[in-house]
Amino acid sequence: MKTEFEKEIAATKAIIYCRVSSTKQKIEGSGLESQEHRCRQYAASKGYEVEAVFPDDASGGGDFMNRPGMVALLSYLDAQPGKNYVIIFDDLKRFARDTEFHIKLRREFQLRGARIECLNFQLDDSPEGKFVETIFAAQGELEREQNRRQVIQKMKARVEKGYWVFSAPVGYKYSADRAHGKILVRDEPVASILTQALEGFASGHLQSQSEVKRFLESKPAFPKDLPTGEIRWQRVNRILTQLTYAGYVEAPKWDIAPRKGQHEPLISLATYEEIQRRLNGTAKAPARKDINEDFPLRGFVLCDDCGQAMTSCWSKGRSKLYPYYLCDTRGCASNRRSIPRERIESGFAEIMQSLQPTGQLFAVAKAMFRDAWAMRLSEARNDKAMLTRQLKEAEAQIDTLLERIVEAENASVIKAYEAKIAKLEREKAVLAERVDEIVPPKGRLEEFIEPVLEFLSNPWNIYKNGSLAVRRTVLRLAFVEPLRYSREEGYRTAKITFPFKVLADISTQKGEMVEPRGIEPLTSCMPCKRSPS
């Protein structure tokens, strides 16, 4: 016959808590399952009835309140007042690897009337038992801090050698390499999409962060932040300021200055620097969300009376909707005077079609481009020699500052020298990159000239068949400023960009045969007699 004590033990309810330090251990190993199995065997040997199991796959640092499983366990105890539970752990390290939080967690269980039992450690509430338990908790904390220090030391060493060690930025993924270990590699097609976005912002084709955001959202292959297909602003800013995309790594929190990385860059360092200059310059107004395929000229056509951008709307008729452009500026003579969309856009089509050169003129333009390319190639070689001299000067300045650091004793002076060296190293990296890239390789002429000539040959065709983003780009490439439109007289004279202006000037020039005497003025005031021939 069982005693009352044995009956109480038999009726004891048990809760199992098991934990691994990372999701990777949960997926790749069997830590949680093996811990639960051992704890269930222990509970069965003690005659406990297991009522619930709470797993955790995150360390939560030292604070147990950062572990979802532990928070759920404490909430479960709060919801069962008056019941006496035994909390079973596989090992004391699974309880808390921090002395302070170990003691706090012990107190939390005591307040809830629960006691803890550990498979690998005999808990004892005597003064000696508490002392030994505290020593073991302190040992666990020491091991955790030592492991953390060792991991950070290895990560710092990797960064100093040019390897990225944090989460892979969007556009990259980690790949195992025999020579490098884990290294960032391009994650296509996202990497190519990012290159287009970053270079587009640097060149001004994408004039604001809003347009970069819209460009990325328009690409189905680019990962989105929200189910609606949107990308958060913080992510856009993080992409534009990510030095990793330029092929460099840094770790400011470890005082590791930027250095050339081992991974392949998505953009050049010069492009990255230009992006930062644009971000730190005058802010651009966000691109309007109401510019859409229905009214592609909205914001680009100005009212001739007040000079403000026209708006647009759909007007409801008896049987259907009618599209209109109009000026919405108060006090303007044309305020709310609607102009049919057909009139605005057909007039614009005539302007665009007038930019198309003739076949003969296009051949002349092609020859001019080739001559200009040859001239630019010669200038690039001279620029390369100059940049090489600047690079050597920067290296000499760095060597001089390093000598001064060795001789200096004042900590603030040394810090100032180090800051100057870091700045020079950045400038040196930009110069070295420009030296390598300033002279275009063979075949680059054909690579660039074909799309340029295609655009110059028929900008209207590209505009007519392109997406909204392409149309907005054509507007920027073809016109210096927005077009002005008068309700009575139509479009005013358009200010076109330099390439089209040159082509227009050539087409309007009148050629005449030079007289036999040449083009120099006569030296005598007497009339000149010419032979009958």
Is 24 or 169 the better-scoring residue by pLDDT? 169
Query: Which region among 47-51, 389-393, 435-439 has the lowest average model confidence (pLDDT)?
Result: 435-439
Pair of tokens at residue 35: 């811990």
Bridge partners of 260, per DSSP, are 248
Tell me how far CA of residue 276 lies from CA of 24, 88, 233, 259, 270, in angstroms: 37, 55, 16, 17, 10
H helix or E strand, kind and range, residue 14: strand 13-19
DSSP 213-237: HHHHHT-TTSPPSSTTS---HHHHH
Number of other residues whose CB lies within 10 A of the CB of residue 521: 6
Helix (H, G, I), strand (E, B) or coil at 170: coil
Query: Which region among 41-50, 235-244, 502-511 has the lowest average model confidence (pLDDT)?
Result: 502-511
What strands, in cross-sheet order, belong to the sheet with 49-56?
A: 49-56, 13-19, 85-89, 115-118
Let me know: does 325 contact 311? Beta carbons within 8 Å: yes
**Percent of the chain scoring above 70 in pLDDT:** 79
Report the DSSP pairing between strands 339-340 and 483-486.
Answer: unpaired
Let me know: does 84 contact 49? Beta carbons within 8 Å: no
Cis-peptide into 265, omega within 30 deg: no
Q: What is the pLDDT of residues 85-102, one digit of tens each?
A: 998 888 777 666 667 777
Using the predicted structure, report yes or no on whether residue 5 has a pLDDT greater than 50.
no
Let me know: does 194 contact 239? Beta carbons within 8 Å: yes
Q: What is the pLDDT of residues 320-330, one digit of tens each?
A: 889 999 998 98
Let me know: does 356 contact 457? Beta carbons within 8 Å: yes
Band of pLDDT at residue 169, cut at 50, 70 and 90: very high
First to last CA, the chain: 146
Burial 306-332 (b: 16+ CB within 10 A, else e): eeebbbbbeeeeeeeeebbbbbebeee
Single-letter amino acid, residue 11: A
pTM of the model: 0.52
Q: What is the pLDDT of residues 345-376, one digit of tens each?
A: 999 999 988 887 766 666 776 777 677 777 77
What pLDDT, on a 0 to 100 scale, did the predictor assign at position 449?
67
Let me know: does 91 contact 118? Beta carbons within 8 Å: yes
What pLDDT, on a 0 to 100 scale, did the predictor assign at position 7?
44
Using the predicted structure, report yes or no on whether residue 513 has a pLDDT greater than 80.
no
Biggest CA pair distance of the chain: 150
Band of pLDDT at residue 385, cut at 50, 70 and 90: confident
Pair of tokens at residue 520: 């120099």
What pLDDT, on a 0 to 100 scale, did the predictor assign at position 94?
67
d(CA 85, CA 114): 5
Pair of tokens at residue 250: 């840094």
* 123 contact partners, CB below 8 Å, separation of at least 6: 116, 117, 129, 133
**Percent of the chain scoring above 90 in pLDDT:** 20
Side-chain-facing half-sphere of 341: CA atoms under 13 Å: 15
